[in-house]
Chain A
């Protein structure tokens, strides 16, 4: 395929102004909705093939959320597209100021394999809503999903403006050599760095949705109801989120020593409730995506010290790429399992003397995409809020912030740059252009040279909004500052 030629065609189409029409944007969003509706069975099938994902999990995490986001965008589109007036100081007189959103042009979205529809289509919604043309490169590690997107989307969307280009690292590199007006990348920090480095050539702004180790801090919860709710939420946010292969999944837990065993026992009970005696047979836990990642996870457990810290679970089926829920208590902190993002169904629990120690523990590590704090202690909650930094902070739940339309979704530090979701998707793919209008009727004659002290005095009063002072200077009653 002649990539450069294809992209130039898309640029020309953008220049024609077609994608700026509100009606075009609406039609594309509705087309996407139709795709999700008509192709639902094929989508579930593709996710089953690529990841062994249960269709309820798929709907909850990827399909339902995208539908919700499309409707949210359709509803907000007109308002988002409108210019916003900016306040002017009185002295400005007869001028107007506003901020006008405009599309950036041609944008590139590179998505990840773990939520191949969600992470491709959420950015697509933002790019379309903001009036851009877009190229999507889905992950080659989820090949059925990638094909489905590449083969079906052309039926539902305007192919002059939106194209899917399939491929792996080589195609990705080729794409990164081109000139884009924005790049949104979801994936690992290592590749994120390569994306940003490639973006330097054309000074392309980037959004990098990366990962990190998202901790769940579990404070003492006196009520057994609260404990059960907390455990349910943590478990579904680990084993129920693509088997822990999610940037927002709970990576590890921090809990006080004295509650650790209660927590572990409760988890064992709840895991059985959710996944039955034979988790593999329940089909409710996704597969590990490929052998490379399977072996990576196996390796995390190879160190005898880590092996010894396992308190639950052990079953790993290489042929079927299945790993059952595995819980560890206090594996060595220098081990890879505690220094790298796990991205799998291994759940370390780190015990602390006091729950407040969790603050330093988190602070001394790279900033995560999210922190989950389960607590009813208001003072502790306030400390978590002001003394830790993360993309998001959720109290008493996990992962669910992904579904909140009004909250920006993105990281900080190593967990990412920029954000999206809801109106933030529109914002991220827009340029907010400042527009000021003046009339000919008013001017400050002292704006122009030749310069003298009188003009200087006038300027000084103007800039200080000192109307009385200005009057005095004009009347000749004020001669110095």
Chain B
């Protein structure tokens, strides 16, 4: 296992259209494979995880080239943020899997005495993973790693908006992984619809809230549980009295340095005080130039906008009435190369388009408030974001922020890094999503935690059975509520 597979073309990827019938056949095939027990073996899981690692290692150039084609992604971002993180996930899973698969023994109480109990993690069966275009390798393979670690059979549908990467993934998975249990289906809406009509044991979707709803509605028909990794407007609150240069650099790295703002946990907008805003803007201008040079629009160290649809969407945001005069930096664009320069706006109206949809691009609005505490209510009055960030040295403010701002995750004094900590669950709440993954949470997301209770035949408590008597009631009362003394008294016939 783990050897390079012969280039077997699964029936579904031939020239024929991938319709509901093909999808049905595919699921049936994988169910048969799952039923055989193949994917449950520890060796199989380890073999597949190692194969993913080798796949990333040996074909780095192919992946980097595809990402350059699809997103003009700088090599470093591709190697570090996509392949590097995938390899890191493999490594974590390989190291920890033997612990994860072990049943968890649990305590048992008086109500079930005598007994022993454990929680056994078992694979769900056949799962569907639909990934996004912005980190097309990471968001495809990271969930796949979790699904494999948990012992499932997997169908992966990569995003068609990153077609070169989708094609590379399809080829590599067919070459390196076990085709009997892991398959890639490429395509757009028709193929995804055909897949969603099937009965899966879990569906894992990364993308936007609109399609997330379509996925959940399809899942509801079969009572299929889902994980939805969506997005939202991730706010960055910037207090005064901080190391402004460091904070600015981190903001830039988390915005334009992360796929040019096209990242679900990117800094969507900033909230700072009226007094501090000018300093922040100046610092941003300075550091952006330091990173990207005098002409950031042309810098090769920033990804481009993925396609003309998104380019049009973003220019619409910034061209809206009453918005264009709020631009304090940037605003340049080049339609042919699909580039928009890092753009900063100050105090756009709250009801503007740019403040009511996830930007997912290089535009950074800054909202100003009188006192920094006002930012909390501002954030909580909007849909829950996937992440919320605060830059401050004020300990009390930090604690209040953590306690009162509801978001999928929070990082204090940095941006996005919480998702790189594999011991933290990564997921949203409310509009930003359902469920979480990374590290062991990925394993759990694709497992069923089966409750197992072991009872013996000795010590049968007849007080459970009819005919029901007053005495039985007294003893039962004591046992079920854990009142040992009361149980003894009742057993001895004392009132």
Query: Interface residues, chain A, CB within 8 Å of chain B?
Result: 15, 17, 54-57, 59-60, 64-65, 67-68, 71, 86-89, 92, 95, 97, 99-100, 102, 104, 181, 189, 192-193, 196-197, 199-201, 203, 205, 208, 210, 221, 223, 225-226, 229-230, 232-233, 235-236, 240, 274-276, 282, 284, 363, 376, 385-386, 389-397, 400-401, 403-409, 412-414, 416-419, 431-440, 443, 447-451, 455-456, 459-460, 463-464
Interface centre among B292, B409, B431, by most A CB within 10 Å? B409
Contact status B108-A193, CB under 8 Å: no
By beta carbon, the residue of chain A nearest B302 is A449
Check A203–B482 contact: CB distance below 8 A: no
Contact A240 B466 (CB under 8 A): yes
Return the CB mask of B102-133 against A: 1 if under 8 Å, else 0: 00001111011001010110101100000000
Which residue of chain A lies nearest to B433 when distances are taken between CB atoms in the complex? Answer: A203
User: Complex: how many Å from CA A463 to CA B85?
Assistant: 8
What are the residues of chain B within 8 A of A417 when measuring CB–CB?
A: 223, 225
CB-contact partner of B216 in A181, A203, A230, A412, under 8 A: A203
Contacting A at CB under 8 A, from B453-495, are: 453-457, 460, 462, 464-469, 472-473, 476-477, 480-482
Residues of A within 8 A of B40 (CB): 386
Considering the chains assembled together, what is the distance between the CA atoms of A148 and B362 in angstroms? 58
Q: Do B467 and A282 touch across chains, with their CB atoms under 8 A apart? A: yes
Cα A412 to Cα B201 in complex, Å, equals 9
* Residue ranges of B at the interface with A (Cβ–Cβ < 8 Å): 35, 40, 74-76, 79-80, 84-85, 87-88, 91, 106-109, 111-112, 115, 117, 119-120, 122, 124-125, 201, 209, 212-213, 216-217, 219-221, 223, 225, 228, 230, 242-243, 246-247, 249-250, 252-253, 257, 291-293, 299, 301-302, 380, 398, 402-404, 406-414, 417-418, 421, 423-426, 429-431, 433-436, 448-457, 460, 462, 464-469, 472-473, 476-477, 480-482
The smallest C-beta distance from A473 to any residue of chain B, in angstroms, reads: 14
Partner of A201, one of B91, B213, B252, B468: B213
Contact call A463/B87, Cβ cutoff below 8 A: yes
Q: Are B402 and A100 in contact (CB under 8 A)?
A: yes
Chain B residues whose C-beta falls within 8 Å of the C-beta of A88 in the assembled complex: 421, 423
Cα–Cα distance between A8 and B430 once the two chains are bound (Å) = 17
Instruction: Give the shortest distance, in Å, between B78 (CB) and chain A (any CB).
Output: 10
Tell whether, in the assembled complex, residue A406 and residue B473 are in contact, meaning their CB atoms are under 8 Å apart. no
Which residues of the partner chain B approach A397 to less than 8 Å between Cβ atoms?
115, 453, 455
**A434–B455 CB distance below 8 A:** no
Give the complex CA separation of A405 and B473 in angstroms. Answer: 21
A451: chain B residues within 8 A (beta carbon)? 74-76, 301
Main secondary structure of the interface of B (DSSP, over half): mixed
Cβ 8 A contact of A431, one of B242, B252, B402, B429: B429
User: In the complex, what residues of A have CB within 8 A of residue B482's CB?
Assistant: 68, 71
Contact across chains for A200 and B466 when beta carbons are under 8 A apart: no
Q: Considering the chains assembled together, what is the distance between the CA atoms of A139 and B87 in angstroms?
A: 51
Q: Is the CB of A64 within 8 A of B252?
A: no
- A93 CA / B221 CA spacing, docked (Å): 47
**In whole angstroms, what is the CA distance A194 to B429 when docked?**
22
Task: Tell me whether A56 and B476 are in contact (CB under 8 A).
Answer: yes
Please state if B466 and A236 are interface contacts (CB–CB under 8 Å): yes
Whether the pair B450, A403 counts as a contact (CB closer than 8 A) is: no
Tell me which residues across on chain B come within 8 A of A406, comparing CB atoms. Answer: 106-109, 117
User: Nearest A residue to B106 by beta-carbon distance?
Assistant: A406
Question: Is the Cβ of A64 less than 8 Å from the Cβ of B477?
Answer: yes
B253 touches A197 (CB 8 A): no
Give A407 to B120 CA distance when docked, in angstroms. Answer: 11
Q: Are A459 and B413 in contact (CB under 8 A)?
A: no
Enumerate chain B residues within 8 angstroms of A282, measured Cβ to Cβ: 466-467
Whether B450 lies near A389 (C-beta < 8 A) is: yes
- CB closest chain-A residue, reference B213: A200
Nearest-neighbour CB distance to chain A for B374, whole angstroms, equals 15
> A443 touching B246 by the CB < 8 A rule?
yes
On chain A, the residues within 8 Å of B404 by CB distance are 17
Q: Knowing A193-B220, A284-B467, A385-B120, say if A225 contacts B457 (CB, 8 Å).
A: yes
**Selected contact of A200 from candidates B220, B230, B430, B477, CB within 8 Å:** B220
By the criterion CB–CB under 8 Å, are A203 and B228 in contact?
yes
A404 touches B108 (CB 8 A): yes
Chain A residue at minimum C-beta to C-beta distance from B419: A434
The smallest beta-carbon distance between B421 and chain A, in angstroms, is 5
A404 and B111 CA atoms in complex are apart in Å by 7
